Amino acid sequence: MKIAFVHNHQAFLPELAAYQDFFLMQNIETCVATYGRENESGADVYWYLMGFYPRAFNKKKLIIHEYSSASVPPYRKMKDFLKSRFTPRPHFRLYLNEYVREQINIHDEVPFGYRDMGVGESFLQPSEIPAGKKEFDFIYSGNLSATRKLEKLLKVFDQGNLKAHSILVLGKDESGLSKTFAHCSNILFQTAVPWKEVPSYLVRASYSVNFIPDEEPYNAQTSTKFLEYAAMKIPIISTNYFWMAEFQERYGGNYFLLKEDLSNLTWERIIQFPYAFPALDSWRWEEKIRASGVLEFLSQAENKGRK
Protein backbone atom coordinates (compact mmCIF):
# COMPACT_ATOMS: atom_id res chain seq x y z
CA MET A 1 0.00 0.00 0.00
CA LYS A 2 1.18 3.50 -0.83
CA ILE A 3 -0.40 6.69 0.53
CA ALA A 4 -0.24 10.07 -1.22
CA PHE A 5 -0.91 13.05 1.04
CA VAL A 6 -2.56 15.58 -1.26
CA HIS A 7 -2.79 19.31 -0.62
CA ASN A 8 -2.48 22.69 -2.32
CA HIS A 9 0.80 23.68 -0.60
CA GLN A 10 -0.70 26.85 0.90
CA ALA A 11 -0.67 25.80 4.56
CA PHE A 12 2.12 24.78 6.94
CA LEU A 13 1.36 21.18 7.86
CA PRO A 14 3.49 19.70 10.67
CA GLU A 15 1.33 16.58 10.60
CA LEU A 16 2.84 15.57 7.25
CA ALA A 17 6.21 14.72 8.75
CA ALA A 18 4.48 12.99 11.66
CA TYR A 19 2.38 10.86 9.30
CA GLN A 20 5.38 9.91 7.21
CA ASP A 21 7.34 8.83 10.29
CA PHE A 22 4.37 6.89 11.65
CA PHE A 23 3.58 4.99 8.46
CA LEU A 24 7.25 4.22 7.88
CA MET A 25 7.08 2.27 11.16
CA GLN A 26 4.08 0.39 9.72
CA ASN A 27 6.02 -0.43 6.52
CA ILE A 28 3.60 1.68 4.51
CA GLU A 29 5.07 3.85 1.76
CA THR A 30 4.06 7.52 1.63
CA CYS A 31 4.61 10.55 -0.56
CA VAL A 32 3.33 14.12 -0.88
CA ALA A 33 1.35 15.15 -3.97
CA THR A 34 -0.09 18.36 -5.31
CA TYR A 35 -3.85 18.61 -5.72
CA GLY A 36 -4.67 18.02 -9.37
CA ARG A 37 -1.55 15.93 -9.95
CA GLU A 38 -2.12 13.10 -7.50
CA ASN A 39 -2.33 10.54 -10.33
CA GLU A 40 1.41 11.01 -10.85
CA SER A 41 2.10 9.60 -7.36
CA GLY A 42 1.29 5.97 -8.20
CA ALA A 43 -0.40 5.70 -4.79
CA ASP A 44 -3.24 3.40 -3.76
CA VAL A 45 -4.63 5.88 -1.21
CA TYR A 46 -5.29 9.55 -1.83
CA TRP A 47 -5.32 11.32 1.54
CA TYR A 48 -6.60 14.86 1.01
CA LEU A 49 -5.64 17.54 3.55
CA MET A 50 -8.77 19.44 2.84
CA GLY A 51 -9.32 22.81 1.36
CA PHE A 52 -12.14 23.11 -1.16
CA TYR A 53 -11.67 20.27 -3.65
CA PRO A 54 -14.89 20.09 -5.67
CA ARG A 55 -13.85 17.89 -8.60
CA ALA A 56 -14.62 14.18 -8.78
CA PHE A 57 -12.05 11.80 -7.32
CA ASN A 58 -10.54 8.70 -8.88
CA LYS A 59 -13.03 5.97 -7.95
CA LYS A 60 -10.35 3.28 -8.22
CA LYS A 61 -8.47 4.76 -5.28
CA LEU A 62 -9.13 4.72 -1.57
CA ILE A 63 -10.04 8.28 -0.58
CA ILE A 64 -9.52 9.92 2.84
CA HIS A 65 -10.53 13.49 3.65
CA GLU A 66 -8.89 15.22 6.60
CA TYR A 67 -10.23 18.44 8.12
CA SER A 68 -7.59 19.75 10.54
CA SER A 69 -9.39 23.09 10.83
CA ALA A 70 -12.72 24.71 10.18
CA SER A 71 -12.67 27.49 7.58
CA VAL A 72 -11.25 30.83 8.63
CA PRO A 73 -12.61 34.36 8.00
CA PRO A 74 -13.75 35.97 5.84
CA TYR A 75 -16.97 34.11 4.95
CA ARG A 76 -15.96 31.11 7.03
CA LYS A 77 -19.48 29.70 7.38
CA MET A 78 -20.06 29.95 3.63
CA LYS A 79 -16.75 28.17 2.99
CA ASP A 80 -17.70 25.31 5.33
CA PHE A 81 -21.12 25.08 3.67
CA LEU A 82 -19.52 24.74 0.23
CA LYS A 83 -17.14 22.07 1.52
CA SER A 84 -20.01 20.09 3.00
CA ARG A 85 -22.28 20.28 -0.04
CA PHE A 86 -20.00 20.21 -3.08
CA THR A 87 -17.14 17.89 -2.15
CA PRO A 88 -17.38 14.30 -3.47
CA ARG A 89 -17.84 11.65 -0.81
CA PRO A 90 -14.67 9.86 0.42
CA HIS A 91 -14.30 6.45 2.05
CA PHE A 92 -13.16 7.85 5.43
CA ARG A 93 -12.98 11.25 7.12
CA LEU A 94 -10.72 12.63 9.81
CA TYR A 95 -11.53 15.70 11.88
CA LEU A 96 -9.35 17.62 14.32
CA ASN A 97 -12.07 17.48 16.98
CA GLU A 98 -15.83 17.57 17.48
CA TYR A 99 -15.95 21.33 16.97
CA VAL A 100 -14.46 21.04 13.47
CA ARG A 101 -16.86 18.23 12.59
CA GLU A 102 -19.80 20.37 13.70
CA GLN A 103 -18.61 23.29 11.58
CA ILE A 104 -18.12 21.18 8.45
CA ASN A 105 -21.56 19.72 9.18
CA ILE A 106 -21.57 16.62 6.98
CA HIS A 107 -24.12 13.95 7.84
CA ASP A 108 -23.86 10.65 5.99
CA GLU A 109 -22.80 7.06 6.59
CA VAL A 110 -19.10 7.58 5.79
CA PRO A 111 -16.97 6.38 8.75
CA PHE A 112 -14.89 9.01 10.53
CA GLY A 113 -12.38 9.54 13.31
CA TYR A 114 -10.76 12.36 15.26
CA ARG A 115 -7.05 13.11 14.89
CA ASP A 116 -5.94 15.89 17.17
CA MET A 117 -2.63 17.71 16.81
CA GLY A 118 0.40 16.17 18.47
CA VAL A 119 3.98 16.65 19.61
CA GLY A 120 6.99 15.22 17.80
CA GLU A 121 9.71 13.36 19.68
CA SER A 122 12.25 16.07 18.85
CA PHE A 123 10.22 18.51 20.99
CA LEU A 124 10.28 16.23 24.01
CA GLN A 125 14.04 16.43 24.46
CA PRO A 126 15.47 18.52 27.32
CA SER A 127 16.76 22.02 26.60
CA GLU A 128 20.45 22.23 25.69
CA ILE A 129 20.83 25.94 26.49
CA PRO A 130 20.97 27.09 30.15
CA ALA A 131 18.36 29.69 31.15
CA GLY A 132 20.96 32.42 31.64
CA LYS A 133 22.39 32.03 28.12
CA LYS A 134 19.29 32.39 25.98
CA GLU A 135 19.66 34.42 22.78
CA PHE A 136 16.14 35.90 22.78
CA ASP A 137 13.79 36.96 25.55
CA PHE A 138 10.70 35.71 23.67
CA ILE A 139 9.76 33.63 20.68
CA TYR A 140 6.55 33.48 18.67
CA SER A 141 6.36 30.52 16.30
CA GLY A 142 3.52 29.89 13.89
CA ASN A 143 1.00 31.59 11.66
CA LEU A 144 1.76 35.22 10.73
CA SER A 145 -1.33 35.91 8.62
CA ALA A 146 -3.27 39.11 9.23
CA THR A 147 -6.14 37.10 10.77
CA ARG A 148 -3.91 36.31 13.80
CA LYS A 149 -3.60 40.04 14.63
CA LEU A 150 0.02 39.66 15.67
CA GLU A 151 0.70 43.35 15.06
CA LYS A 152 -1.05 44.09 18.36
CA LEU A 153 1.53 41.98 20.20
CA LEU A 154 4.55 43.34 18.36
CA LYS A 155 3.58 46.93 19.14
CA VAL A 156 4.37 46.13 22.78
CA PHE A 157 7.97 45.43 21.66
CA ASP A 158 8.03 48.54 19.49
CA GLN A 159 6.91 51.37 21.79
CA GLY A 160 5.30 49.48 24.67
CA ASN A 161 6.31 47.79 27.92
CA LEU A 162 8.75 45.36 26.26
CA LYS A 163 10.66 47.72 23.96
CA ALA A 164 13.85 46.86 25.87
CA HIS A 165 13.41 43.14 25.20
CA SER A 166 13.81 40.93 22.15
CA ILE A 167 11.43 38.61 20.34
CA LEU A 168 12.10 36.16 17.52
CA VAL A 169 9.15 35.74 15.16
CA LEU A 170 9.34 32.38 13.38
CA GLY A 171 7.03 31.74 10.44
CA LYS A 172 6.02 32.61 6.90
CA ASP A 173 5.55 36.38 6.79
CA GLU A 174 2.28 36.50 4.85
CA SER A 175 1.19 39.97 5.93
CA GLY A 176 4.46 41.93 5.69
CA LEU A 177 5.09 42.26 9.42
CA SER A 178 8.86 42.28 8.89
CA LYS A 179 8.50 45.48 6.85
CA THR A 180 6.14 47.08 9.36
CA PHE A 181 8.62 46.52 12.18
CA ALA A 182 11.86 46.81 10.20
CA HIS A 183 12.87 49.78 12.37
CA CYS A 184 12.83 47.62 15.52
CA SER A 185 16.20 45.98 16.20
CA ASN A 186 14.65 43.94 19.01
CA ILE A 187 12.03 42.28 16.74
CA LEU A 188 13.72 39.66 14.60
CA PHE A 189 12.09 37.59 11.87
CA GLN A 190 13.02 34.11 10.71
CA THR A 191 11.12 32.56 7.82
CA ALA A 192 9.42 29.21 8.34
CA VAL A 193 11.77 26.24 8.66
CA PRO A 194 11.13 22.48 8.34
CA TRP A 195 9.15 21.17 11.29
CA LYS A 196 12.01 19.12 12.73
CA GLU A 197 14.25 22.21 12.85
CA VAL A 198 11.81 24.23 14.96
CA PRO A 199 13.14 22.97 18.35
CA SER A 200 16.57 24.43 17.56
CA TYR A 201 14.92 27.87 17.46
CA LEU A 202 12.54 27.44 20.40
CA VAL A 203 15.36 26.45 22.73
CA ARG A 204 17.08 29.80 22.14
CA ALA A 205 14.30 31.80 23.86
CA SER A 206 13.53 32.37 27.55
CA TYR A 207 9.75 32.70 27.06
CA SER A 208 7.30 31.61 24.40
CA VAL A 209 4.17 33.37 23.15
CA ASN A 210 0.94 31.65 22.15
CA PHE A 211 -1.04 34.48 20.54
CA ILE A 212 -4.46 33.24 19.40
CA PRO A 213 -7.43 35.55 18.70
CA ASP A 214 -10.41 34.81 20.93
CA GLU A 215 -12.54 34.26 17.82
CA GLU A 216 -13.93 31.25 16.01
CA PRO A 217 -12.56 28.98 14.73
CA TYR A 218 -9.16 29.77 16.29
CA ASN A 219 -10.34 29.72 19.91
CA ALA A 220 -11.81 26.20 19.65
CA GLN A 221 -8.93 24.48 17.89
CA THR A 222 -5.72 22.95 19.18
CA SER A 223 -2.66 25.16 19.20
CA THR A 224 0.20 23.02 17.94
CA LYS A 225 2.74 25.66 18.88
CA PHE A 226 1.43 25.75 22.44
CA LEU A 227 1.96 21.98 22.68
CA GLU A 228 5.49 22.34 21.32
CA TYR A 229 6.34 25.12 23.77
CA ALA A 230 4.97 23.05 26.65
CA ALA A 231 6.83 19.92 25.53
CA MET A 232 10.11 21.85 25.55
CA LYS A 233 9.23 23.44 28.91
CA ILE A 234 9.63 27.01 27.67
CA PRO A 235 7.52 29.26 29.95
CA ILE A 236 4.34 30.17 28.08
CA ILE A 237 2.64 33.55 27.75
CA SER A 238 -0.76 33.11 26.11
CA THR A 239 -3.94 34.88 25.19
CA ASN A 240 -6.89 33.65 27.24
CA TYR A 241 -9.46 31.76 25.15
CA PHE A 242 -11.75 28.73 25.20
CA TRP A 243 -9.34 25.96 24.11
CA MET A 244 -6.61 27.29 26.37
CA ALA A 245 -8.84 27.30 29.44
CA GLU A 246 -10.14 23.82 28.65
CA PHE A 247 -6.61 22.44 28.19
CA GLN A 248 -5.37 23.91 31.46
CA GLU A 249 -8.35 22.52 33.38
CA ARG A 250 -7.91 19.03 31.93
CA TYR A 251 -4.13 18.65 31.70
CA GLY A 252 -2.76 21.17 34.18
CA GLY A 253 0.20 23.47 33.89
CA ASN A 254 0.39 27.16 34.73
CA TYR A 255 0.55 29.80 32.00
CA PHE A 256 0.80 33.59 32.02
CA LEU A 257 -2.57 34.62 30.57
CA LEU A 258 -2.76 37.99 28.86
CA LYS A 259 -5.43 40.57 29.42
CA GLU A 260 -7.26 41.58 26.26
CA ASP A 261 -5.53 44.97 26.14
CA LEU A 262 -2.12 43.37 26.98
CA SER A 263 -1.74 45.77 29.92
CA ASN A 264 -0.27 43.00 32.10
CA LEU A 265 2.44 42.16 29.56
CA THR A 266 5.36 43.59 31.51
CA TRP A 267 8.79 42.12 32.17
CA GLU A 268 8.37 42.38 35.95
CA ARG A 269 5.18 40.31 35.96
CA ILE A 270 6.51 37.79 33.46
CA ILE A 271 9.67 36.94 35.39
CA GLN A 272 7.80 36.67 38.71
CA PHE A 273 5.08 34.32 37.45
CA PRO A 274 5.18 30.66 38.69
CA TYR A 275 5.15 28.69 35.41
CA ALA A 276 4.39 24.97 35.34
CA PHE A 277 4.15 22.41 32.54
CA PRO A 278 1.74 19.55 31.86
CA ALA A 279 2.55 15.91 31.16
CA LEU A 280 2.27 15.41 27.40
CA ASP A 281 2.81 11.66 26.94
CA SER A 282 -0.70 11.25 25.54
CA TRP A 283 -0.04 14.06 23.02
CA ARG A 284 2.68 12.26 21.09
CA TRP A 285 1.88 12.12 17.37
CA GLU A 286 1.96 8.33 17.39
CA GLU A 287 -0.72 8.26 20.10
CA LYS A 288 -2.94 10.73 18.26
CA ILE A 289 -2.69 8.91 14.92
CA ARG A 290 -3.41 5.53 16.48
CA ALA A 291 -6.39 6.92 18.40
CA SER A 292 -7.96 8.25 15.19
CA GLY A 293 -8.88 4.80 13.86
CA VAL A 294 -7.38 5.50 10.43
CA LEU A 295 -4.83 2.67 10.69
CA GLU A 296 -7.60 0.14 11.36
CA PHE A 297 -9.56 1.53 8.42
CA LEU A 298 -6.58 1.16 6.09
CA SER A 299 -5.83 -2.36 7.34
CA GLN A 300 -9.43 -3.47 6.79
CA ALA A 301 -9.50 -1.90 3.33
CA GLU A 302 -6.24 -3.63 2.37
CA ASN A 303 -7.50 -7.01 3.61
CA LYS A 304 -10.71 -6.62 1.59
CA GLY A 305 -8.66 -5.82 -1.49
CA ARG A 306 -6.68 -9.03 -1.13
CA LYS A 307 -9.81 -11.21 -1.11
Q: Is the domain of 184 the same as that of 265?
A: yes
- Report whether pLDDT(306) > 60: no
- Report whether pLDDT(187) > 70: yes
C-beta of residue 153 within 8 angstroms of C-beta of residue 262: yes
Q: Is the domain of 127 the same as that of 266?
A: yes
Mean pLDDT of the 281-303 span: 94
Q: Is the domain of 37 the same as that of 136?
A: no
Q: Is the domain of 203 the same as that of 263?
A: yes
| Percent of the chain with pLDDT strictly greater than 90 | 77
Q: Residue 275: which CATH number?
A: 3.40.50.2000
Q: Is the domain of 206 the same as that of 276?
A: yes
pLDDT at 132: 75
Structural Rg of the chain based on CA atoms: 20
Q: Is the domain of 243 the same as that of 134?
A: yes
- Per residue in 239-259, pLDDT tens? 999 999 999 999 999 999 999
Q: Residue 62: which CATH number?
A: 3.40.50
What SS3 state is found at 51? Answer: coil
What is the Cα 97 distance to its own chain's centre? 13
Q: Is the domain of 110 the same as that of 129?
A: no
Domains: count for the chain: 2
Q: Is the domain of 52 the same as that of 105?
A: yes
Residue 260's nearest CA partner among 126, 153, 111, 139 is 153
- Per residue in 261-273, pLDDT tens? 999 999 999 999 9
- Per residue in 211-229, pLDDT tens? 999 999 999 999 999 999 9
H or E element at residue 2 = strand 2-7
Which structural domain range is residue 171 located in? 121-282
Confidence band of 125 (pLDDT split at 50, 70, 90): confident
Q: Is the domain of 106 the same as that of 140?
A: no
Q: Is the domain of 93 the same as that of 132?
A: no
Q: For 236, phi and psi rounded to 5 degrees?
A: -110, 125
Q: Is the domain of 193 the same as that of 142?
A: yes
